[in-house]
A and B are shown apart, each in its own frame.
Chain A
Amino acid sequence: MVEFSLWDILRNLLMAARWTVSLSLIAFIGGGLVGLLLLVLRLSRVRGTGRLIGAYVQVFQGTPLLMQLFLAYFGIALFGIKTSPWTAAAVALTLYTSAYLTEIWRGCVASIPKGQWEAAQSLALNFGEQLRHVVLPQALRIAVPPTVGFLVQVIKGTALASVIGFVELTKAGSMISNATYQPFLVYACVALLYFVLCFPVSLVAQSLERKLHGNRS
């Protein structure tokens, strides 16, 4: 019976954690770009975009991420494109992130007092100028804490990619736990590694939130 040391376990988990980190970053950045596009579309008040994007958000916020991953995995395959778990996970998580981020950002823009819009209008600024010079700079400031906070959700979300076969931290944990017959230790290590990834980000988000409200009060 091969003896596995704690270090063996951790070493293997850390290698898999690289994939967790890269998937998280891809989803966060990709989702951020798509979310920004959706936000601008929504704000441009083109007929119907508001309702459409609202429905998009409702679907992603009202269904399990696990289902979204399954649908991406089997759905892309329907079109004859060979999908790897990595691709399906990246696509699903990017879209998931884009829906949540665009909704967070929409809320930030909506929280800018109407008086700011009216003052800008009264100074003869057109819609684009109102947005770019008066509303978005203020909304950006408010948006930073919840956006950083959502990164934590993305990192946790990558764990579900294990279910469609992508070998990231959680899947590695399952595999190592089966190989070592030490599920308690292995899953404790997995949890610890996620904690090490997420907790600093949570702290940063909390401190940004405090700074923001400290400035305003």
Chain B
Amino acid sequence: MLIALDFSAVLSSWPLLVRGLAWTIGLTAVGTVLGLLLGTACAWARARNLGPRALPLRWAVAAYVELVRNTPFIVQLFFLFFGLPALGLKLSPEVASVLAMVINLGAYSAEIIRAGVEATPRGQIEAAQSLALTPGQTFRRVVLPPALLKVWPAMVGQIIIVMLGSAVCGQISTPELSYAANLISSNTFRAFEAFILATLAYLALSMLTRRLLIWVGVRFLVGR
């Protein structure tokens, strides 16, 4: 029995979809930049031997990473948005969404970057030390760029995962793409059509973003 699909009602709401798309892209962009910074800082804390004084820091980072990686993103989001107000910290949906994405990507990228950093050949670090570079300079200029280049495909994959995971943020009324689809669905009663279009938009977005990010990696991480 073939059901008649009516896309016209959904397509006429295209401004909503475009707005949702823009929000998804914006959330992902901000979340990615801040998340990568956080992840790099964590990788630095764990990979570099900062001495026994830094042990509590390493444990704290390890605990943070394991906690984030073993709980669902939606729970992290709900905790930030619904749970924190009980402590007096009320966040807007958009801020809560970005914060959740930063914390989430931060943990995963910490692991990814750490793997890349630990694969640095000993000789590179020794050469940097022989040239009188400080540990900070060694990490920033000698260790990090090749490490990032090496793990860039894995990092791109993780960024895409976070971008697709941002669909959940619509549940706390962040006006991103899945929220738009939900809105259109309740306006037009054409749920399936609305979600199909949104899904196709996500598919196109993830494929394009992947290509773009890989190009960025090649362009900016090589030859610096």
Interface of B is mostly: helix
Size of chain A's interface in residues, with CB distance under 8 A?
41
Chain A facing B: main interface SS: helix
Do B1 and A67 touch (CB < 8 A)?
A: no
Cβ A187 vs Cβ B78 within 8 A: yes
Selecting from B13-21, B124-132, B192-200, the interface stretch reads B192-200
Task: Please give, as numbers and ranges, the residues of chain B lying within 8 Å of A152 by CB-CB distance.
Answer: 69-70
Q: Is the CB of B198 within 8 A of A188?
A: no
- Interface locus among A40-48, A113-121, A127-135, A170-178: A170-178
Binds A, one of B54-62, B92-100, B161-169: B161-169
A62 lies within 8 A of B207 (CB): yes
Contact B70 A202 (CB under 8 A): yes
Kindly state the separation between the CA atoms of A72 and B83 in the bound complex, as whole angstroms: 30
B83 touches A170 (CB 8 A): no
Whether, in the assembled complex, B206 has its beta carbon less than 8 Å from a beta carbon of chain A, the answer is yes
- Contact of A170 with B195 in the complex, beta carbons under 8 Å: no
Contacting B at CB under 8 A, from A156-191, are 156-157, 159-160, 162-163, 170, 173-174, 177, 182-188, 190-191
Contact A187 B75 (CB under 8 A): yes
**A160: chain B residues within 8 A (beta carbon):** 72, 74, 168
A71 touches B199 (CB 8 A): yes
Q: Are A71 and B203 in contact (CB under 8 A)?
A: no
Q: Is B47 an interface residue (CB 8 A)?
A: no
**In this assembly, does B22 line the interface, its C-beta being within 8 Å of a C-beta of chain A?**
no
- Given A184-B87, A187-B78, A199-B66, 20 more pairs with CB closer than 8 A: A59-B203, A62-B164, A64-B178, A66-B178, A67-B178, A67-B202, A71-B195, A71-B196, A156-B73, A159-B75, A163-B168, A182-B86, A183-B78, A184-B79, A187-B83, A191-B71, A191-B79, A194-B71, A195-B67, A202-B70
